[in-house]
Structure 1
């Protein structure tokens, strides 16, 4: 499943995404991101962003970061205290 949320006139956030563990590494996540990009473009958005925990904090989130990077997202900024010290918020963006 995937959920998009408008964060600005030109920007949509990939707010929630989930793939059951038994379907990991089978292209399902990438298909979801591609469909989300298609829908966002069709609705007139120019950018997509996603927030996750900064690389190097937790192995599971490191895999998440690498997935988003492999989908074409680029690092924008880290907000060290947006959530809390133990979970610095990494924001990735991509042009649609």
Structure 2
């Protein structure tokens, strides 16, 4: 048995991306952020759909089309494949834990 809230380091200089489960059709990933954001240049442009849930903390996602979504604890969004997006910010005062499900 595992716990999505366990094994969080005290110092997180770089975002942590960990696969929890990966099969041919689905990948479930835990992302741990601590005031992180996407690189200044470029967008995520994925070939998979991504359903993402904020379990703890807060994250702000910007879409290339100009839409901005602030996700707080319990909020989720489905990002269709090919939808360009990036993380503008995550909570600076607490760790943000995301659960991302990638599927085709």
What's the TM-score, normalizing by structure 2?
0.33
What's the TM-score, normalizing by structure 1?
0.35
More strand by share: 2
- Larger RCO: 1 or 2 (CA < 8 Å, sep 6+): 2
More helix by share: 1
